[in-house]
Amino acid sequence: MFQNITTTSPSFTDAEGLLKLSAKAPSLNATQVEQILSQLESLLFGPNISLALANTSINIVSNLLNVPVAVMTPFSKRAIGIVDTVGLKLVVSGTSQSILSQSLAMAVKKVDGTNFQETSFSLIETSNVQIQSHPAWRD
């Protein structure tokens, strides 16, 4: 069903196909939404994911937010789970990574579990996600 491109990973190529399908969100039925989510969950199954696959996955979920509410409601927890999975498995280069789509923004920051700092997230405009760390307060 999807065209294979030799310069990209199969997961990314498959995700691009799902992105094209999800662009038809207003006309998708429950069976189609279930198939898109199932295939996307399969693509995200590995231990980590690339920024390219993360971007495409977030854009797919963003598109699915345009599915009629009555159709999408039974799948909302799965869509949220996909966003969580992307955040947990994204390979972050540097200290943080932002992913922006039309209806969804995600910021992922590397943290030190033994010396966690308070972190705030703000979205001032759609092209500018801010992540700030503050030293943890100690009593």
Q: Which helix (H) or strand (E) holds 52?
A: helix 51-64
pTM of the predicted structure, to 2 decimals:
0.79
Q: What is the pLDDT of residue 69?
A: 96
Mean pLDDT, range 97-110, rounded to an integer: 87
CA dihedral for 53, 69, 128, 136, sign (positive or negative):
negative
Which pLDDT tens digit goes with each residue over 45-84? 999 999 999 999 999 999 999 999 999 999 999 999 999 9
Is the pLDDT score of 2 beyond 50?
Answer: no
